[in-house]
């Protein structure tokens, strides 16, 4: 299948040391912040258990602050005794991110904040320091590689047909906070321009692999790469180079344009928050063929089903 | 070759340099995917280390320790691990590999609350075997079947030929080198993810795009090549139907084998892997159209250091029979098939010379200049010898004896105007140029 309306459980992996994450059972909308924290880089190690004279296993009993919490310089972190008190205090403003096995306390200066936003409307069903999972019903379309952080916005067509490439000239700041549909190809120029204009994300059949290196660095991989930093968000639906979209995929994008959508990079999926009857249920699965020189992936007719390098759109890849 | 997910291992090398070789040997023998290596000298900050471990999502954290000093160094690695992976579901298992009680006790404290197992020092043969077995247990029989089949195939091939044998297989996401000798335990290197299909992009990531490009016998720009590699990596079992894609598959196979050999060298097995009298090619390497292409890749990438006879497993029949033999517990069919199917295709005579030298081929002398690369037709099994190596009898098969006096490691000019004629000459020597 291409487009599917179903109940999805979307797992949002979190960076290390989240300061806050939504509680299980919370109702969220796509784009809502479900977790936040600060980027942890260098940490200051503070004597904890040794300083207050307890075994590392007993430190938790005397801690005044628990990970992950903001601390101010001089703030009491742990304390024992009454008249002859022994105390550990924070040496800097920052965040207590971790307690070591030896009972030392790791304080990290807060250099940058991050936020993770819900990819779909739904209910939080799991929430811990590792991930937040949201379950909800919506339309979804699977791609093969997504890059950058998750992006949420209104789904908008930026090309006239499934065979068109996304022209950078069609992107401007009026399209900010939207998910743009780019047809058969989104080149590096279009990706960087869209990011500069505040576009939430791009979806297209393909992106040039060389262009991805320019945008995301030389270590970019074919399987995609979710990240939390400020980079363009893109979803390649079929492959790399050139990828004209099959008609059922394009028809779904046209029908669902105008609804809220999100690109969830970890699952390489596009989610569209629209009612089930907003788009026709696709019948059958289109076929894709890898070009003989491997430079493009294009739709083919059903008659080519048994041919070399031909797969259904939803084949495990 | 299987596309199943490999065992993802994070390696905490608290004592880098002391245990590196046996640890690598164990990881390669087990076919593990080394997702991350952390050392005390790692320039990343505490938070970056923790994030790297979280992103790696390891199934297993391997902690080799030589002594208590290593356990003391471990704290700088174990705390990022606890921060990064404490919330992982399911949590990774930690495997402490040490025979030092003090080190084990300290490591157990540092790695809590991760589930932790302890095995003996990996430098001892028993420890190495147990570590490999534990990692293989974690992978499961189904995933291991293709690798076990190659190991059995190598053992039976060595028995059948009566000498050291190497089975070299390149698959979609795994590249294997298995060396066996009669009466000896097989040495296995299963490098993952590394191959000409699903892991094609990883070959480029490790080797560099230019190193892959250099094997293409015509001018091709890097962005075009990268496009093809990426599409190939996301297209399971992509078949090479055109000239461009066949050349790409040959280029990827070259680098995948070279990287596996480099991994073997890091594990202290480089010389053993290069010194086998009989080489059997299998997997996608053996499925290349035309045996001359398989032989070219083997000669270029395996860099043999003694005369060797090369055969290939057409259609993967021998690997299939080896898998059946493991399932059925009976290897006689495989032994018969080895006699019938593993016919020699070519032989290779490596020659190391500063300027020119004389080699003996079947009783006659041949002058060989540095950088020479040519074939000689041989009527049947013949004795060959070159300076610095003992005489050996090789069977050349239809492609003849490949005399290879190219300086190693093989280097090619960067400019296409110089590179293309040089690499084309190598292809043409064996008639392997994609048409």
Task: Find the length of chain B.
Answer: 435
Which residues from A are below 8 Å from B84, CB to CB?
A: 16
**By the CB < 8 Å criterion, does A310 face chain B?**
no
C-alpha closest to that of A205 among A295, A137, A133, A297 = A297
- B176-228: per-residue pLDDT in tens? 999 999 989 999 999 999 999 999 999 999 999 999 999 999 999 999 999 99
What value does the CA radius of gyration of chain A take, rounded to a whole number of Å? Answer: 24
**Is A306 among the domain residues?**
yes
Note which residues in 203-222 of chain A have CB less than 8 A from chain B.
Answer: 208-211, 213, 219, 221-222
Instruction: Tell me the C-alpha to C-alpha distance, in Å, between residue A180 and each of A97, A165, A250, A260.
Output: 38, 12, 13, 11
DSSP 8-state class, residue B378:
-
- Same domain for B220 and B364, yes or no, is yes
Which residues from A are below 8 Å from B46, CB to CB?
A: 40-43, 106, 108
Q: Return the exposure string of B143-163: e unless at least 16 CB atoms fall within 10 Å of the residue's CB, then b.
A: bbbbbbbbbbbbbbbbbbbeb
What value does the CA radius of gyration of chain B take, rounded to a whole number of Å? Answer: 23
**Is A55 among the domain residues?**
yes
Instruction: Tell me the C-alpha to C-alpha distance, in Å, between residue B30 and each of A200, B120, B191, B321.
Output: 43, 17, 9, 22
**How close A201 gets to chain B, by Cα (Å)?**
21
**Domain hosting residue B177, numbered range:** 142-430
Residues B280, B321 contacting (CB under 8 angstroms): no
Count CB atoms within 10 A of the CB of residue A7.
10
Q: What confidence score (pLDDT) does residue A305 get?
A: 84
- Same domain for A170 and A217, yes or no, is yes
- Same domain for B22 and B151, yes or no, is no
The alpha carbon of B194 is separated from its chain's Cα centroid by a whole number of angstroms, namely: 8
Residues B381, B393 contacting (CB under 8 angstroms): yes
- Same domain for B150 and B126, yes or no, is no
ipTM of the complex: 0.93
**Is B3 among the domain residues?**
no
Contact pairs from chain A to chain B, CB under 8 Å: 144
**In this structure, what token pair is assigned to residue A23?**
């509680």
Q: What confidence score (pLDDT) does residue B292 get?
A: 96
Q: What confidence score (pLDDT) does residue A83 get?
A: 83
Which residues from A are below 8 Å from B226, CB to CB?
A: 209-210, 213
**Is A194 among the domain residues?**
yes
Distant-in-sequence, close-in-space partners of B327: CB < 8 Å, separation ≥ 6: none
Q: What confidence score (pLDDT) does residue B5 get?
A: 65
- Same domain for B298 and B194, yes or no, is yes
- Same domain for A275 and A232, yes or no, is yes
**In this structure, what token pair is assigned to residue B174?**
């795994």
**Domain hosting residue A79, numbered range:** 44-108
**In this structure, what token pair is assigned to residue A147?**
């890059």
Confidence check: pLDDT of B1 > 70 = no
Last residue of a domain, one of A64, A88, A108: A108
Listed as ranges, residues in chain A with pLDDT below 50 are: none
C-alpha closest to that of B231 among A122, A317, A53 = A317
**In this structure, what token pair is assigned to residue A197?**
């204009």
**Is A145 among the domain residues?**
yes
**How close B175 gets to chain A, by Cα (Å)?**
19
Instruction: Give the up-direction half-sphere exposure of residue A1: CA atoms within 13 A in the CB hemisphere.
Output: 12
**How close A126 gets to chain B, by Cα (Å)?**
12
Spatial distance between the Cα atoms of A61 and A82, rounded to a whole number of angstroms? 15
**By the CB < 8 Å criterion, does A43 face chain B?**
yes
- Same domain for A223 and A103, yes or no, is no
- Same domain for B355 and B418, yes or no, is yes
Pick from B111, B200, B236: which is nearest to A317 by CB? B236
Residues B264, B166 contacting (CB under 8 angstroms): no
- Same domain for A88 and A168, yes or no, is no
Strand partners, B308: B348
**By the CB < 8 Å criterion, does B48 face chain A?**
yes
pTM attached to this predicted model: 0.94
Distant-in-sequence, close-in-space partners of B249: CB < 8 Å, separation ≥ 6: B196, B240, B284, B288
| Whether B226 and A209 lie within 8 Å, measured CB to CB | yes
Strand partners, A181: A157, A203
Spatial distance between the Cα atoms of A211 and A200, rounded to a whole number of angstroms? 19
Residues A152, A245 contacting (CB under 8 angstroms): no
Percent of chain B predicted with pLDDT > 90? 89
Residues A49, A59 contacting (CB under 8 angstroms): yes
- Same domain for A59 and A152, yes or no, is no
- Same domain for A173 and A238, yes or no, is yes
Strand partners, B178: B167, B188
Note which residues in 197-216 of chain B have CB less than 8 A from chain A.
Answer: 200-202, 205
CA angle B388, B391, B397 (to 5 degrees): 120
**Is B405 among the domain residues?**
yes
- Please, which pLDDT band fits residue B3 given cuts at 50, 70 and 90? very low
- Same domain for B85 and B58, yes or no, is yes
**Arithmetic mean of pLDDT, B337-342:** 92
- Same domain for B292 and B248, yes or no, is yes
- Same domain for A280 and A238, yes or no, is yes
Last residue of a domain, one of B139, B158, B183: B139
Confidence check: pLDDT of B103 > 60 = yes
**Arithmetic mean of pLDDT, B294-307:** 96
- Please, which pLDDT band fits residue B4 given cuts at 50, 70 and 90? low
Secondary element (H or E) of residue B85: helix B68-85
**By the CB < 8 Å criterion, does A290 face chain B?**
yes
Spatial distance between the Cα atoms of B66 and B64, rounded to a whole number of angstroms? 7
Q: Count of domains in chain B? A: 2
Q: Count of domains in chain A? A: 2
Spatial distance between the Cα atoms of B114 and A143, rounded to a whole number of angstroms? 35
- B17-71: per-residue pLDDT in tens? 899 999 999 999 999 999 999 999 999 999 999 999 999 999 999 999 999 999 9
- Same domain for A91 and A228, yes or no, is no
The pairing of strands B187-191 and A131-142 is unpaired
Note which residues in 378-397 of chain B have CB less than 8 A from chain A.
Answer: none
- Same domain for B351 and B292, yes or no, is yes
Last residue of a domain, one of A62, A91, A108: A108
- Same domain for B107 and B151, yes or no, is no
**In this structure, what token pair is assigned to residue A244?**
């004209």
**Is B176 among the domain residues?**
yes
Last residue of a domain, one of A89, A108, A127: A108
Pick among B47, B208, B237 to test the A interface (most A CBs inside 10 A): B47
What is Dmax (Cα atoms) for chain B?
A: 70
C-alpha closest to that of B136 among B30, B293, B60 = B30
- Same domain for B51 and B198, yes or no, is no
Instruction: Give the up-direction half-sphere exposure of residue B121: CA atoms within 13 A in the CB hemisphere.
Output: 14
Spatial distance between the Cα atoms of B69 and B72, rounded to a whole number of angstroms? 5
């Amino acid at each position: 299948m291409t487009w599917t309306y179903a109940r999805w459980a979307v797992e949002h992996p979190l960076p290390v040391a989240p300061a806050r994450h939504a509680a299980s059972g919370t109702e969220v909308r796509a784009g809502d912040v479900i977790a936040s924290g600060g980027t942890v880089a260098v940490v200051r190690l503070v004597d904890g258990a040794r300083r207050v004279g307890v075994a590392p296993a007993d430190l938790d009993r005397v801690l005044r602050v628990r990970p992950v919490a903001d601390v101010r310089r001089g703030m009491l972190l742990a304390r024992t005794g009454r008249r002859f008190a022994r105390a550990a205090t924070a040496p800097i403003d920052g965040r207590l991110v971790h307690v070591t096995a030896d009972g030392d306390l790791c304080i990290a200066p807060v250099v940058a904040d991050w936020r993770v936003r819900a990819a779909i409307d739904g209910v939080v069903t799991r929430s811990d320091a590792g991930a937040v999972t949201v379950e909800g019903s919506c339309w979804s379309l699977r791609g093969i590689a997504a890059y950058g952080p998750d992006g949420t916005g209104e789904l908008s067509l930026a090309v006239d047909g499934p065979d068109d490439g996304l022209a950078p000239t069609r992107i401007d700041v009026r399209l900010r906070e939207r998910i743009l549909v780019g047809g058969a190809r989104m080149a590096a120029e279009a990706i960087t321009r869209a990011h500069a204009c505040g576009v939430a994300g791009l979806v297209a059949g393909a992106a040039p692999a060389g262009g991805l290196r320019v945008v995301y660095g030389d270590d970019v991989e074919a399987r995609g790469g979710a990240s939390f930093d400020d980079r363009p968000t893109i979803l390649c639906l079929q492959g790399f180079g050139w990828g004209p979209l099959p008609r059922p995929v394009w028809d779904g994008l046209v029908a669902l344009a105008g609804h809220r959508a999100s690109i969830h990079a970890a699952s390489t999926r596009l989610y569209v928050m629209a009612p089930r009857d907003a788009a026709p249920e696709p019948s059958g699965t289109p076929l894709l063929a890898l070009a003989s020189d491997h430079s493009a992936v294009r739709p083919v007719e059903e008659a080519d089903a048994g041919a070399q390098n031909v797969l259904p759109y939803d084949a495990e890849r | 070759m299987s596309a199943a997910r490999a065992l993802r291992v994070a390696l905490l090398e608290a004592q880098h340099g002391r245990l590196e070789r046996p640890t690598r040997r164990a990881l390669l023998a087990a076919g593990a995917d080394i997702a991350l290596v952390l050392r005390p000298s790692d320039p990343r900050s505490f938070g970056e280390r923790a994030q790297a471990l979280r992103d790696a999502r390891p199934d297993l954290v391997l902690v080799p320790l030589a002594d208590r000093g290593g356990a003391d160094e471990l704290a700088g690695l174990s705390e990022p691990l606890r921060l990064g992976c404490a919330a992982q579901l399911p949590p990774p298992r930690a495997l402490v590999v040490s025979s030092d009680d003090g080190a084990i006790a300290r490591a157990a404290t540092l790695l809590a609350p991760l589930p932790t197992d302890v095995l003996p020092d990996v430098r001892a043969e028993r420890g190495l075997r147990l570590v490999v077995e534990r990692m293989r247990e974690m992978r499961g029989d189904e995933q291991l079947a293709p690798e076990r089949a190659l190991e059995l195939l190598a053992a039976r091939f060595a028995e059948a030929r009566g000498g050291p044998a190497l089975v070299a297989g390149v698959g979609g996401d795994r590249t294997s080198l298995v060396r066996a000798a009669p009466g000896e335990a097989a040495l296995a290197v299963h490098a993952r993810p590394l191959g000409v299909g699903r892991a094609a992009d990883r070959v480029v990531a490790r080797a560099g795009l230019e190193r892959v490009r250099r094997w293409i016998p015509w001018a091709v720009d890097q962005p075009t090549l990268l496009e093809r590699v990426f599409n190939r990596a996301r297209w399971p079992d992509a078949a090479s139907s055109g000239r461009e894609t066949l050349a790409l598959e040959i280029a990827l196979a070259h680098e995948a084998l070279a990287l596996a050999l480099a991994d073997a060298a890091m594990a202290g097995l480089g010389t053993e892997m290069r010194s086998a009298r009989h080489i059997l090619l299998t997997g996608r390497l053996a499925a290349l159209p035309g045996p001359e292409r398989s032989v070219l890749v083997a000669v270029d990438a395996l860099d043999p250091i003694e005369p060797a006879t090369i055969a290939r497993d057409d259609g993967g029949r021998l690997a299939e029979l080896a898998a059946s033999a493991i399932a059925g517990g009976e290897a006689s069919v495989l032994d018969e098939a080895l006699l019938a199917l593993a016919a020699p295709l070519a032989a290779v005579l490596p020659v190391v010379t500063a300027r020119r030298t004389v080699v003996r081929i079947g009783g006659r002398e041949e002058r060989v200049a540095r950088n020479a690369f040519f074939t000689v037709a041989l009527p049947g099994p013949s004795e060959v010898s070159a300076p610095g190596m003992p005489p050996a009898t090789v069977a050349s098969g239809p492609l003849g004896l490949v005399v290879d006096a190219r300086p190693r490691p093989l280097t090619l000019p960067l400019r296409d105007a110089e590179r293309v004629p040089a690499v084309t000459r190598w292809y043409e020597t064996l008639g392997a140029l994609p048409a």
